Amino acid sequence: MPNLQLDAVVPMLCVTLGALAAMGGEALRGKGPRMPVGWFGIIGLAGAAVSAVILWNPTPEAFREDFGVIVADNFGLFVTLVLAVVGILTIMFSSQVIHRDNLPAGEYYALLLFSIVGMMMMATATDLLVIFVALEVLSLAVYVLTGIRRDNLAGTEAAFKYFLLGAISSAFFLYGIAFTYGVTHSTRLSAIAQYLSAQSMSGEPMVLVALGLLLVGFAFKISAVPFHMWTPDAYEGAPAIVTGFMSTGVKAAAFAAFVRVFLSSFEPFRDLSAAGPGWAPVVAVLAAATMILGTVVGVAQGNLKRMLAYSSIAHGGYLMVGLVAANAVGKAAILFYLLAYSVTNLAAFGVIAMLGARDRANDSLRDYAGLWHSSPGLAALMTVCLLSLGGLPPTAGFIGKWYIFQAAVSAGYYWLAIIGVLTSVVSVFFYLRVVVMMYMADRDGAPEPARVSGFGMVALTLSIVVIFYLGILPAPILDFAGKSIATIF
């Protein structure tokens, strides 16, 4: 590959340097005073965000040279930007939690940053093997983060479950890569696409096996039904802020790769009207099942983290609807939805993390009774997040859902749109249960107002501003998302 351009890896490089600095800083500091390790991460992520914006190509007609298997196309850069935002917000929320819960700061931040590197790589990789490596990089870091409270039984159990099922899904994925290579003699996405579209091999069982295995691998990572079993346990056991990070960052990265692989390499197999169903109907059914199961089971949860785990499963379903629609609106909708969902969900987990205490997690629904009276600000922020997750105007979540459903309707998937809107009504029911607790239920005794650090406050305020900005003036970002996918697929 001649004429390698290094600028495609600059965002990742920034984050990697931040991670190394965090690790080195922790190793070299003396005993006693704490190092502000988080700052390294924020600087690195800010660097990644800035370089992503600079690299973003306003005239997508001109093809950008890539670094072999990593490509800095607008799609990848958009996701990189989302991941940088997720990372910065996570670090800001974490700053308070780490000290309170006595987590090892150096390791925590380094792992967080390394996993973000993996995510960014996953979003920009154009080779199945590189995607796999990226998947492993991010997964290993997140497994450890899940169990970072080593003295906590639930956390350890969650990490172990997550690891086992994650390993299985990796195996599926790798198997899928092997089959793909066996048929097409390449792991490069563009080469696979060329090979598949050149030959009429729709009836070829090997391709379908490869496709199926890859689909299962991705479905595990985005916790689509029926491969979602690990999600509630892992989300409930992990520290709240790590859960927030997992449910947004990991999902965004996995989705980026999912979209890239399925809409570029396997695009010829999207809809095989001649020789049986392609992957689009299958994904449509998975999407419907994911939306329905995520919301219906969410209704029955009494633990807020577990409830949000199911809600995040459902949101994965909405994202899949965009993938099924696969028109210009749908692809842009996925990007917009990822941003809207990530900020909202992360902020919700941020509030949960703020309310936690060292000795108890404070995440049962009962713990939120009367929160309005003790911490009116946090209760209001939580309400905004929940309304946004439920898709009520004027919030980011509403615009995101509208965009997804518009895509589905425009692609003729009326039934998916109808399932989508109905499940969002059901989801509003369980989001409202939290609101009911916070505003309308009384608590025995007067709880202390939660203490929120300055950093946490800034992060919460930022999230709320973004949620309302995306909800009220979405045009610039919709435009940005639209341009980000314009010439890629």
Partner 1 sequence: MLLTLSWVIPLAGAILLLLVPNRDGSRDGVIRWLALALSIAAFAVTLVIWARFDSASADFQMVERVPWIPAFGIDYYVGIDGISLLLVVLTGFLTPIALLSSWEGIEKKVKEFSVFILALEAAMLGVFISLDLFLFYVFWDAMLIPMYFLIGIWGYDQRIYAAIKFMLYTMAGSVLMLVAILALAYMHSESAGSYTFDLLKLYALEIPRTTQTWLFLAFTVAFAIKVPLFPFHTWLPDAHVQAPTAGSIILAGVLLKMGTYGLVRFAFPLFPAAAHEFAPWIAGLAVIGIVYGALVAMVQPDMKKLVAYSSVSHLGFVVLGICAMNVQGMQGAVYQMLAHGISTGGLFLLVGMLSDRRHTRLISEFGGLKNSMPRLTAAFLIITLASIGMPALNGFIGEFLTMLGAFLWDPRFVVVAGLGVILSAVYMLWMFQRVYLGPITNDKNARLPDLQPREWASVLPLCALAIAMGVFPSLFLAPMELSVKKVVERVQTGQPARADNAGQRVRTE
Distance separating alpha carbons of residues 21 and 39, to the nearest angstrom: 10
Nearer to partner 1, 319 or 387 (CB): 387
123 Cβ contact partners less than 8 Å away, ≥ 6 residues apart: 75, 76, 79, 80, 83, 252, 253, 256, 257, 260
List of residues contacting partner 1 (CB under 8 A): 387, 392-394, 398, 402, 405-406, 409-410, 412, 414, 417-418, 421-422, 424-425, 428-429, 432, 435-436, 439-440, 474-475, 478-479, 482
Shortest Cβ distance from residue 479 to partner 1 (Å)? 6
Nearer to partner 1, 160 or 469 (CB): 469
Distance separating alpha carbons of residues 333 and 393, to the nearest angstrom: 17
Going 177 to 180 to 182 to 184, the CA torsion angle's sign is: negative
Nearer to partner 1, 252 or 329 (CB): 329
Virtual torsion, Cα 32, 34, 40, 42, nearest 10 deg = 170
Nearer to partner 1, 113 or 379 (CB): 379
Q: Which residue has the tokens 């009367």?
A: 370
User: How many CB atoms within 10 Å of residue 428?
Assistant: 18
Shortest Cβ distance from residue 362 to partner 1 (Å)? 22
Distance separating alpha carbons of residues 394 and 470, to the nearest angstrom: 9
Nearest to 309 by CA among 379, 372, 234, 377: 234
Nearer to partner 1, 20 or 432 (CB): 432
Nearer to partner 1, 206 or 473 (CB): 473
459 Cβ contact partners less than 8 Å away, ≥ 6 residues apart: 89, 92, 93, 347, 350
Nearer to partner 1, 191 or 441 (CB): 441
User: Which string of DSSP letters, residue by residue, matches 282-327?
Assistant: HHHHHHHHHHHHHHHHHHT--BHHHHHHHHHHHHHHHHHHHHHH-S
Distance separating alpha carbons of residues 302 and 310, to the nearest angstrom: 12
